[in-house]
């Protein structure tokens, strides 16, 4: 009787553990993005103009993106050979430690060029850890999920993103009340150093979590491969590219419509910093609501349909988005971000179940990590830099909107056109092996 009770609790515990972990990882990621848009140009690149300094700050943001595929491959290898849980603990500690170290970095005025160089190194390690974090977290949720509930349980891990965005943006919104000198001197450091508390909470829950039942089943059947990356590149390359294509839209759209938009509305439109941050706060609040709602719909009508809708909405709303945020009013900027979150949330909610369904259990961590690293890292992670560069070049937002349209259509095509051998229902059925392994 007690065994049954524990079995029923396991999916929820796995989902909560994944949520707390991804919340910390995304929090670390978002405070860096927000700081890049607001303070890093002055702290680490003070000899340049504000626009060029922001461009350089977003360049350091993109450095972490380059490391994501490498982190995904290495963490994916060990996640598929020694287990998901061990890698989740390791990535949590590594990324958290780097975040705290960034908060303690001396400024350019103190140590000169060593300051931005150290920032790049720490950001690279952050990107490496983040490359292996997402896949492990969502796999623990999806592989523990009951049959036909993979969309909902996978979305719980995804909710770590908007919660972290709310926390990071809210923190900077409060810090915005500080005098400019205090903010640039020590205020911006608080959210970085303070992440140590979240690390302890995340570790507590992750250490309590049981290993994925799907991985245990593969281990018992001796299906573990010695080199999962080579197997994926040889037999699952089409699935990796399709997964990367699906990830691409939600990553690019988010970086444009929730990260780049902060620097755009404050430096170009003339909106106050508090208005910009409060608008992102409103958007993140609605994303917390949208994610489980779209996940429930996906479990009822199909994961593929919801993913296709999210990609199309992003493409359709690409040009209207900047029409909303060009206004200096809190209502219009908030409305633009909330409407953008409709497309982002629809696709983001179903990513775990959809992408995990493309790979077999013994290569799933590696396959998902590689797909996510390519889509959100190599391409999506450069979005703030690309968006800033396009705006500097055109002195207008139309190239950025066109970029979003193209990305949305690419992701829509990736959802519609599957590689040969991948069933349309695989993403919703594949997780049933997790239930079988507990019997």
Residue 368's CATH number: 1.20.1250.20
345 occurs within a structural domain: yes
1 occurs within a structural domain: no
Whole-angstrom Cα distance, residue 229 to residue 216?
20
403 occurs within a structural domain: yes
pLDDT at residue 208 in the model:
74
pLDDT tens, N- to C-terminus, the chain (439 residues): 344 444 445 677 777 777 877 787 778 777 877 777 677 777 887 766 666 666 666 666 667 777 878 888 888 888 888 888 888 888 888 888 888 998 898 888 888 878 888 888 888 888 888 878 778 887 777 777 766 676 777 778 788 888 888 888 788 888 878 888 888 888 888 888 888 887 888 788 777 777 777 778 877 888 777 888 888 888 888 899 999 999 999 889 988 988 788 888 988 888 888 888 889 889 988 998 999 899 889 888 888 899 999 999 999 999 999 999 998 789 999 999 999 999 999 998 888 888 888 888 888 888 988 888 888 877 777 787 788 889 989 989 999 999 999 999 999 999 988 654 444 344 434 333 333 332 2
pTM across the whole model: 0.76
pLDDT at residue 7 in the model:
43
pLDDT at residue 105 in the model:
87
Contact at 8 Å (CB) between 115 and 44?
yes
pLDDT at residue 56 in the model:
67
pLDDT at residue 311 in the model:
95
End-to-end Cα spacing for the chain = 14
Whole-angstrom Cα distance, residue 271 to residue 308?
34
In sequence order, what are the residues at sequence separation of 6 or more whose Cβ sits closer than 8 angstroms to the Cβ of residue 118? 105
pLDDT at residue 423 in the model:
40
266 occurs within a structural domain: yes
Query: What confidence tens digit (pLDDT) does each residue in 49-79 have?
Result: 666 666 666 666 667 777 878 888 888 888 8
Whole-angstrom Cα distance, residue 189 to residue 314?
34
Closest CA to 72 of 357, 366, 382, 351: 366
Contact at 8 Å (CB) between 349 and 252?
no
Q: Which residue has the tokens 């696709």?
A: 347
Q: Which residue has the tokens 């915005």?
A: 176
* H/E stretch holding 294: helix 273-301
Residue 417, SS3 per DSSP: coil
299 occurs within a structural domain: yes
316 occurs within a structural domain: yes
Whole-angstrom Cα distance, residue 369 to residue 324?
35
2 occurs within a structural domain: no
Query: What confidence tens digit (pLDDT) does each residue in 378-410 have?
Result: 777 778 778 888 998 998 999 999 999 999 999
Contact at 8 Å (CB) between 166 and 39?
no
Q: How many domains does the chain have?
A: 1
221 occurs within a structural domain: yes
Contact at 8 Å (CB) between 87 and 78?
yes
Domain holding 192, by residue range, is 8-436
Tokens of 339: 């409407």
Distances in Å between the alpha carbon of 29 and those of 35, 160, 165, 224, 259?
A: 10, 12, 9, 32, 11
């Amino acid at each position: 009787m007690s065994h049954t009770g524990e079995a029923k609790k396991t999916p929820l515990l796995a989902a909560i553990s994944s949520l707390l972990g991804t919340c910390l990882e995304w929090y670390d990621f978002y405070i860096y993005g927000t700081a890049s848009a607001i303070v890093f140009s002055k702290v680490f690149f003070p000899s340049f103009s504000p626009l060029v300094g922001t461009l350089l700050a977003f360049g350091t943001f993109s450095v972490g993106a380059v490391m994501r595929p490498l982190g995904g491959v290495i963490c994916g290898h060990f996640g598929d050979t020694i287990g998901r849980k061990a890698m989740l603990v390791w990535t949590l500690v590594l990324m958290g430690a780097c975040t705290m170290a960034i908060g303690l970095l001396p400024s350019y005025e103190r140590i000169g060029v060593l300051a931005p160089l150290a920032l790049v190194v720490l950001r690279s390690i952050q990107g490496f850890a983040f490359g292996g974090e997402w896949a492990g977290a969502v796999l623990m949720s999806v592989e523990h999920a009951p049959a036909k509930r993979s969309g909902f349980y996978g979305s719980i891990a995804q909710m770590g993103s908007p919660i972290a965005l709310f926390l990071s943006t809210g923190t900077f919104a409060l810090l915005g009340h500080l005098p400019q000198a205090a903010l640039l001197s020590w205020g911006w450091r608080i959210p970085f150093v303070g992440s140590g508390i979240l690390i302890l909470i995340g570790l507590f829950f992750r250490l309590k979590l049981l290993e994925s039942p799907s991985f245990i089943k593969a281990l018992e059947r001796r299906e573990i491969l010695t080199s999962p990356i080579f197997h994926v590149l040889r037999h699952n390359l089409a699935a990796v590219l399709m997964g990367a294509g699906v990830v691409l839209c939600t990553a690019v759209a988010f970086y444009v419509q929730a990260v780049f938009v902060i620097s755009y509305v404050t430096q170009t439109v003339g909106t106050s910093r508090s208005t910009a941050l409060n608008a992102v706060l409103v958007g993140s609040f609605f994303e917390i609501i949208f994610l489980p709602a779209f996940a429930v719909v996906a479990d009822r009508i199909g994961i593929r349909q919801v993913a296709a809708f999210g990609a199309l909405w992003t493409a359709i709303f690409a040009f209207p988005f900047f029409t909303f945020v060009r206004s200096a009013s809190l209502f219009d900027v908030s409305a633009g971000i909330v409407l953008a979150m409709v497309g982002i949330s629809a696709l983001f909610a179903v990513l775990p179940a959809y992408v995990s369904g493309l790979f077999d259990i013994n290569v799933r961590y590696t396959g998902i990590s590689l797909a996510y690293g390519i889509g959100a890292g190599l391409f999506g992670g450069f979005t703030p830099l690309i968006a800033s560069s396009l705006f500097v070049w055109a002195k207008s937002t139309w190239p950025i909107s066109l970029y979003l349209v193209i990305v949305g259509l690419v992701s829509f095509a990736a959802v519609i056109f599957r590689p040969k051998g991948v069933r349309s229902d695989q993403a919703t059925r594949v997780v049933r092996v997790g239930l079988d392994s507990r019997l």
